[in-house]
Amino acid sequence: MTSYKHLREFLDRLESAGELKHIDEPVSPHLDISKYTDAESKRPGGGKGLLFTNVRKSAFPVATNIFGSDRRICMALGVDHLDDLARRVREYIEFNPPAGFRDAIGALPMALDLARFPPRSFKGKPPCQQVVWKGGEVDLSILPVLHCWPKDAGPFITLPLVITRSLVTGRRNVGMYRLQVFDRNTTGMHWHIHKDGSHYYNEYAKAGKRMPVAVAIGADPATVYSATAPMPRGIDEMMLAGFIRKKPVRMAKCLTVDLEVPAEAEFVLEGYVDPGELRREGPFGDHTGYYSLADDYPVFHVTALTHRKNPVYSATLVGRPPMEDCYLAKATERLFLPMCYLAKATERLFLPMLQTVFPEIKDYWFPWEGVFHNIVVVALEKEYPGHAQKIMSGLWGQGQMSFCKAIAVVDAEIAPSDPAAVLRQLALRFDLSSDITVTKGVLDVLDHSSPVANFGNKIGIDLTARFPGEPPRDRQPPSMAPPSDPYLAGVIKNKIPGAVGYRRLMAEADPAANRVLAVAVEKRSDRGGRYFADVLLYLGELSAFNIFILYDAEIDLHDDSLILWKLFNNTDPGRDLMMRNGRLVVDACKKGPADGHEREWPDELTFDVSD
């Protein structure tokens, strides 16, 4: 197992493995680096990591996409496969106290291993403080901070390790919260209401005290990953980093605030946040593929900027998956099963942890198109009537799983990560009248489809086989054979004003299968989703279909990933599912006043914008 002392060691390893591409031509942090990174991350397998060696107006090179593939995220965490790390987690979870001397001797290796996890103090002058700027010397403009997307409010530090400490318990938290650079010594502090950093901030605000904050940029990959992991409150992320590395993270004391930072970090920002001081932050091109909207957030005042000699600035670009943050979340999925390569790491690494609470869960999967908080597919070892619904309720009450908007439950023999197998269950088993559970609860702050922020409707879909004692499904197969395409095209064109295209989805030969029709429409102020639902469910010519999905006219209905992304992100289960007589219309279009949606609808991310 390979572990890394600092970022440079990891970059050298990527270089020797042919996983790092040098960009030596002059590039600007304003959009240029983002365009390169976006194009590279969309290559098969995630492309290569990038090192920009000639950054305009900066003395420092920039590294991006270094976690952005299955191979690189495994290299970063020192494993051949993410499940290897998950197995280590399971060993510690299932460890039983020794019953006697012989057992105690056998347990010594694990006990010694545990002693390697806690962080340790760095002896001597730490590398992260080889160059020091304090007070009026601080100038954040020396950093090559990326302006990621055209409509971003400014440059954003996108891969920061934000270090805070509870005023009540004294426990440390290391989280990853974007920082919009306002000027030479202030940034925004974008911690969401459900994050530990925000919880600690509230402690300081209640006490009327200034909150010390430190930010590390560029560390060894295990430490960077640990800052993204959804650890329980009060558990030090540096312990997780030590667990992954199998050796402790060395920490150094800050110069102007009473906090510690990873001693081998490339850059460190020290400073404070004053309770009650807010500034408008955003918009920002986010991992949902949309701009998150501007809002007021605390202000981070930088009192010191320190860095290594010849440091490398580390950044990530987020947007519509798959991108680099997806792979980090994939790792967490395996660790605990309770952002895209970052997200996939999280998905896999957290599997054993979640199984301690729900041992009946065999596996789960977060499709990238759901941007890791909009849908999860769960494979269940079903044991009793209502078990699927119990799992839905349990997950919605479990940590960050509570932000998940949709949960689909399948039987244990179905691989959740096999879309074809899951869709086949949806086609052949899904009963509109009995397999849907709609409830309300907390939503991720980035969910834009709910009528209100942070709270809204959730949906559970039971695709498991009926258990003895459960009422049977009462599926009503379509009453007529599906029409020919020429006939269907004529109906769409001539009998549905505003409809501009269609596509059959999940076409199954089984006559009892659900039949799904995607319809592209042009909405107007007097023609919202309910108008189209009424027309589609009224037309006898379309009675061969029992599920319709509405998409905006410009959507390519033959792009499977695109239509799933729109379905998962643009739908509120309480407002946008319209059912009548056992048939369903789902509105996956943009929403506006005609749909009863008064909130601002965010723009989709693209580099193709006019000046």
Which positions are annotated as active-site residues?
Answer: 286
Cis status of the peptide bond prior to 232, with omega within 30 of 0:
no
Which amino acid belongs to residue 339?
Answer: M
Structure tokens at 495: 């009998």
CB of 181 closer than 8 Å to CB of 284: no
List Cα–Cα distances, 307 to 10, 257, 265, in angstroms. Answer: 18, 16, 8
Q: Centre a 10 Å sphere on the Cβ of residue 73 and count the other Cβ atoms it contains.
A: 28
Q: Could you give the CA distance from residue 69 to residue 153 in angstroms, rounded to a whole number? A: 29
What whole-number distance in Å separates Cα of residue 552 and Cα of residue 411?
Answer: 34
Return the half-sphere exposure (C-beta side, CA atoms, 13 A cut-off) of residue 292: 21
From the list 445, 73, 95, 124, the residue with the least C-alpha distance to 282 is 445
Give the single-character DSSP code of 13. H
DSSP letter at 399 equals G
Tokens of residue 302, six digits: 């930088």
Q: Check: CB of residue 327 under 8 Å from CB of residue 70.
A: yes
Buried b (16+ CB within 10 A) or exposed e, 15-38: eeeebbbebeeebbbbbbbbebbb
CA angle, 584 then 589 then 592, to 5°: 110
**Smallest Cα–Cα separation from 500: which of 482, 525, 526, 518?**
518
Transcribe 292-358 into DSSP letters: EPPEEEEEEEEEEEEE-SS--EE-----SSSSTHHHHHHHHHHHH----BBHHHHTTBTHHHHHHH-
Find out whether 340 and 322 touch, Cβ atoms under 8 Å.
Answer: yes
Backbone angles phi, psi at 592, to 5 degrees: -150, -170
Q: Which helix (H) or strand (E) holds 272?
A: strand 267-281
| β pairing state of 267-281 and 295-307 | antiparallel
Q: Give just the sign of the alpha carbon dihedral 271, 276, 279, 282.
A: positive
Farthest-apart Cα atoms in the chain, separation: 83
